[in-house]
Amino acid sequence: MSIDFEQLRADALEAVSAAGDSEALQALRVRYLGRKSPLKSALRGLSDLPAEERARVGRLTNEIKNDIEQAVAGRSEALEREHESELGGREWSDLTLPARRGRRGHRHPITLVEQDLDNLFRGMGYRVVEGPWVEDEWHNFDALNIPKWHPSRDSFDTLWLSDGNLMRPHTSPVQIRAMKRFGAPLRAVFPGRVFRNETLDATHEAAFNQIEGLVVDREITPGHLFHSVKAILSAILEEDVETRFRPSYFPFTEPSFECDIMRNGDWMELCGMGMVHPTVLEAGGLDAQEWTGFAFGLGIDRLAMMRYGIDDIRWFHRGDLRFLEQF
Ligand code: PHE
């Protein structure tokens, strides 16, 4: 049996360098180096050869075997590198991408409007202060110039608690708390929930939200009040709103006004306000000879309804996802 060793080496090296993937390479390894390969049978047949032939053929087959092994190892590495760089092109990771988040809820429309209001007022130098939902009679009524016998107490539809305290029917008691806490001059808003014993309909809820504004300084006039309220409403509604100020009555302001704005050809009542009554300044610990101020109270729910085109205030508390998911 004679083998053309040089032809075998040339064939093997060519085939190995052309192997397209690791399976093809493995098949070539078996074919050229495996137990049944021509090289292995040549090695097995060495003992039958004459001595001088044996040495020559032994050296040659070993040399060829080494060459093929090296070629297989080299090709294998090259294939591995190719595979990796191909993967790199296909399966790369962008480490700058933000991590995937779980499903999250979102803010309630009332909260959205309230946060906008907070930011708006902060930008105008007002501080944002919250007061308690459960109030005492003094902060809610007496300090606001509404003594026990005063008929306007009845107009608040107050929800009384068995301990004599009450669910605040407006945010005005926070005026007193803020004056006592911060003194004058003062520029602050008090957003938050209020409660009334109301008969519910599309525009009345037993729990709703107000934002109260209070400015105390020297020589504050109704001019400051009218200008501020118009500027604030225009900023909130993002248009130059047409306002109308009507005389009104609140025990804690004198004079008092009601502000209406023009909406779709109709005047809409939006905001009670007035010059802070001297008795209220004194209840807040301030000298009414020295300090003056104005206050206003805005309905947040009504603003949210206007902004989002909501036709019934009762949607806000229904917890209906079909409604809530729109915001
Ligand atoms: N507290 C009044 C209300 O709830 C609104 C108001 C606030 C009026 C401040 C005057 C000044 O109706």
> Which residue's C-alpha comes closest to atom 4 of ligand 1?
170
**Distances in whole angstroms, Cα of residue 145 to Cα of each of 3, 139, 207, 274, 275:** 120, 10, 24, 14, 13
> Which ligand 1 atom lies nearest to the CA of residue 194?
4
Q: Which residues of 93-113 are buried (b: 16+ CB within 10 A; e: fewer)?
A: eeeeeeeeeeeeeeeebbeeb
The Cβ of residue 75 has, within 10 Å, a number of other Cβ atoms equal to 21
Provide the token pair at 128.
């944002």
| pLDDT value of residue 85 | 86
Angstrom distance (rounded) from CA 266 to CA 272: 18
Angstrom distance (rounded) from CA 278 to CA 246: 21
| pLDDT value of residue 5 | 86
CA angle (51, 56, 60) in 5-degree steps: 145
Angstrom distance (rounded) from CA 20 to CA 13: 14
Give the distance (Å) from ligand 1 centre to CA of residue 260: 14
Give the distance (Å) from ligand 1 centre to CA of residue 173: 10
Q: Domain segments of the chain: what residues? A: 5-90, 109-324
CA angle (147, 149, 151) in 5-degree steps: 95
> Which residue's C-alpha comes closest to atom 3 of ligand 1?
170
Give the distance (Å) from ligand 1 centre to CA of residue 242: 21
pLDDT digits (tens, 9 = 90+) for 154-199: 888 999 999 999 999 999 999 999 999 999 999 999 999 999 998 9
Q: List, run by run, the mean pLDDT of 10-residue segments along the chain (327 residues).
A: 81 92 92 90 86 87 92 92 84 83 87 94 96 97 94 88 96 98 98 94 94 97 96 90 95 97 89 97 98 97 91 92 91
Q: Which of 157, 246, 252 to mutate for ligand 1's pocket (most ligand atoms within 8 Å of CB)?
A: 252
Pocket lined around ligand 1, Cβ cut-off 6 Å: 170, 172, 212, 250, 253, 272-274, 295-297
Closest CA to 304 of 226, 211, 230: 211
Provide the token pair at 35.
């137990």
Would you put residue 9 in left (φ > 0), alpha (ψ -120 to 50) or beta? alpha
**109-324 CATH:** 3.30.930.10
Give the distance (Å) from ligand 1 centre to CA of residue 273: 6
| pLDDT value of residue 271 | 93
Give the distance (Å) from ligand 1 centre to CA of residue 222: 16
Give the distance (Å) from ligand 1 centre to CA of residue 194: 12
